[in-house]
Structure 1
Amino acid sequence: MTFDRRALMAMAAASVAGSAFGQTPPPGSKSALPAGLYQPVETIDLWPDGAPGAPAVPLAETVNERSTDPQLADRAVFGISRPRMVVFRPAQPNGAAVLITPGGGYRWVVVDKEGYEMGRWLAARGYTAFVLFYRLPGEGWAAGPNVGLSDAQRAMRIIRSRAKTFGIDPERVGAMGFSAGGHLCADLATRFAVKTYEPVDEADTLSARPSIAAPIYPVISMRAPDAHPGSREKLLGSAPTATEEQKHSPHLNVPDNAPPFFVLHAEDDDAVPIENALLLRAALRAKNITVETHIFAHGGHGFGLRKAIGKPVEIWPELFLNFARSQGF
């Protein structure tokens, strides 16, 4: 990916304009959070005049704490009406950034396990991390199944528009997602050029293509028997057409200029069949797109960082870093 003089000027203009947005705080918590863990406060709202196509009935953002351990937060948020990125800045930036799309089956967006924990881990290694709290397709937005992709595209463009502010190389902005967030990551990396919303400012002149993409135990297919039923139903409804299934199955939409992929899954995943990762890998290989695939015998689903400890799959973040570095990221 290259940026000409016009694109670089647009980035600078968008950076100045974007700094004037009023920002929404990160998702909160009704209970005390674990002591000793950095809790981010910096956010970037995606839409300066509010997210387009709002539901007729206003949403109430709700955060559920699913953990019974006071030393281990496990929040999930739904009713997101102000989609935004929560920023993790590294002490020593290496010039690269990662947009993180947590999972949640398109029912909610996980805050800690697949969001903040990964954001902290990446920031500790020099990457500027942006955790995306995206809108959910079953909550009445006009964009329907494309609503999460609209937010992800917009997020990538805003990150690039503020590259100078964050000390980021605009050609080193990657995407990582988990489970249904892995579907959103793969959707972004295959349909980055699809117009899903009307441009709102100069940031929208920039590319939404990730430099690399890392879908982790991802939902990919929207067709039985490989589809994750819950994600499929929340994304497409109870009776989607074959055309809708194809449109929202990333392995069926790989363009010739898709970015390099890092794909990770466990054989014993009892929620999202491993065939999802294998279908994506095969589709990428058919297009001669660089793809590194890691399949672990044990890991289950939703291991993130915390549930991988003590298992062979624990090494997966280092494998990702090695792959990223091999791609100049």
Structure 2
Amino acid sequence: MMWNRRTLLGAAAATSASVALSARAQTAPRAPQTWPAAGPDLTGTPSAPVVIPAPDEPKGLLSDASFPIWPEGKVPGSGGVTARRLVLERGSPAAHDRAVMHVSQPLLEVFRPANPNGSAMVVAPGGGYVRLAVDKEGAGAARRLNQCGVTVFVLNYRLPGDGWAAGYDAPLQDLQRAVRLVRSRAAEWALDVKRIGVMGFSAGGHLAAASLTRYDDAVYEPVDAVDQTSARPDLVCLGYALMSVGSGASQFPGPDAEARQPLTERVKPGLAPTFLVHAADDRTVPVANSLNMFAALKAAEVPCEMHIYQEGGHGFGFTLPGDRPASHWPDAFEAWARRSGFFGAG
């Protein structure tokens, strides 16, 4: 079947009702205390989590270089929040698959390439807005992007179920601040201020899509000079991303009307070039989420490219074996980013 604008818009219209119901039913955050001792989690990996000691915040897990994104005592809406970071290991010391929960001091972990090209990517791991899959969708992204010369900043963002005043906008506060911080300190890492991108997966993909479409929303009061810097990403990658948090039908506080509006409805001309990747057999975040966003971006004449694979499930990130077609999506992203000029003239 040939996909064109008419067929994409038709698919979007035909699936909109079922997508809304599916997103509410399948992606509503689960309370930390009910996380199963075994079975699949929202990143698609069988889990047998073991609690491991967490370094005192704001020390990172993945990189020797990490730093908090907010000045001490300036994390927005922190009054009454008692969350304390918890780290769960779903893998092994030889092959980590850690989940970070209850982030109270958002931070960036820095991965510098051997041959930097001046571009940077802020990466938002997924985890259903309940946990952060920091190895599969954080460190995994950093290793691959470093090969392309990209300086990577993995964001440990706050989660809405921990009682933050902004609810589902608390993660967006963190991502906006992270982009501003990287851009304001670009000289420190020899970065081009016009090549600061955002990449996110699953719920982190929803967050990245919010950064794309809501970069100019004033979701927090400025705290210092950094907040005078633009939060607009120059390029965005959305991995099996959710486009609406639904009605919040869980014991967590539901999103308000502002956060609940589908991000496809916020697309407008002039947004950053966007790359989308998804698997058609994803049962957690239906592929229609990416189809709808692609159709909206095309209608607004935003430069974009989409890769849909027949199989891959949810949460495949950078973990699929090489004989699976979806394992090659990072190569497609790299080629597209180079054509877009994001990796520089070289």
Instruction: Report the TM-score when normalising by structure 2.
Output: 0.78
The counterpart of 2:67, out of the listed 12, 20, 44, is 44
Paired positions, count: 286
1:103-114 correspondence runs (5 A): 103-114=126-137
Is the CA contact (8 Å cut-off) linking 1:55 and 1:140 kept in structure 2? no
1:318-329 correspondence runs (5 A): 318-329=331-342
The 3 A distance-change label for structure 1 pair 104 and 55 is farther
Listed one character per residue, the Cα deviations across residues 129-188 of structure 1 (whole Å, up to 9, x for unaligned) are 000000001110011111000000000000001110101000001110000000000000
Listed one character per residue, the Cα deviations across residues 174-231 of structure 1 (whole Å, up to 9, x for unaligned) are 110000000000000000000011111111111111111101011113448xxxxxxx
1:306 partner SS: coil
1:251 lines up with 2:264 in the alignment: yes
Q: What is the CA distance between 1:233 and its match in structure 2?
A: 4.6
Structure 1 residues without counterparts, runs of 5 or longer: 1-22, 28-38, 225-231
The 3 A distance-change label for structure 1 pair 185 and 234 is farther
1:115 lines up with 2:130 in the alignment: no
What one-letter code is carried by the residue in structure 2 that aligns with 1:203? V
The 3 A distance-change label for structure 1 pair 243 and 40 is closer
Partner of 1:268: 281
Q: Percent identity?
A: 44
Q: What is the CA distance between 1:110 and its match in structure 2?
A: 1.1
Partner of 1:36: none
Is the CA contact (8 Å cut-off) linking 1:236 and 1:244 kept in structure 2? no
The 3 A distance-change label for structure 1 pair 244 and 175 is closer
Q: What is the CA distance between 1:280 and its match in structure 2?
A: 0.6
1:1-329 correspondence runs (5 A): 24-27=58-61, 39-50=62-73, 51-67=75-91, 69-223=92-246, 232-233=248-249, 237=253, 244-246=259-261, 249-329=262-342
The 3 A distance-change label for structure 1 pair 203 and 322 is same
Counterpart Cα distance in 1 of 2:181 and 2:256: 33
Is the CA contact (8 Å cut-off) linking 2:168 and 2:259 kept in structure 1? no
* Runs of at least 4 residues off by over 3 Å: 232-238, 240-244
Higher normalized contact order (CA 8 Å, seq sep 6+, divided by chain length): 2
What one-letter code is carried by the residue in structure 1 that aligns with 2:191? I
Listed one character per residue, the Cα deviations across residues 61-108 of structure 1 (whole Å, up to 9, x for unaligned) are 0000112x4421100011111001000011111000001000000001
Is the CA contact (8 Å cut-off) linking 1:145 and 1:236 kept in structure 2? no
Counterpart Cα distance in 1 of 2:124 and 2:205: 7
Counterpart Cα distance in 2 of 1:182 and 1:314: 18
Counterpart Cα distance in 2 of 1:102 and 1:55: 26
Is the CA contact (8 Å cut-off) linking 2:127 and 2:202 kept in structure 1? yes
Counterpart Cα distance in 1 of 2:256 and 2:81: 27
Counterpart Cα distance in 2 of 1:313 and 1:160: 32
Is the CA contact (8 Å cut-off) linking 2:81 and 2:162 kept in structure 1? no
CA RMSD of aligned residues (A): 2.0
Q: What is the CA distance between 1:44 and its match in structure 2?
A: 2.1
The 3 A distance-change label for structure 1 pair 96 and 294 is same
1:99 partner SS: strand
The 3 A distance-change label for structure 1 pair 113 and 235 is farther
Counterpart Cα distance in 2 of 1:257 and 1:236: 35
Structure 2 residues without counterparts, runs of 5 or longer: 1-56
Is the CA contact (8 Å cut-off) linking 1:178 and 1:216 kept in structure 2? yes
Counterpart Cα distance in 2 of 1:290 and 1:283: 11
The 3 A distance-change label for structure 1 pair 186 and 48 is same
Listed one character per residue, the Cα deviations across residues 215-257 of structure 1 (whole Å, up to 9, x for unaligned) are 1011113448xxxxxxx5579845x6766521xx211111322
Listed one character per residue, the Cα deviations across residues 255-307 of structure 1 (whole Å, up to 9, x for unaligned) are 32211110000001111100100111111111111110100001111001113
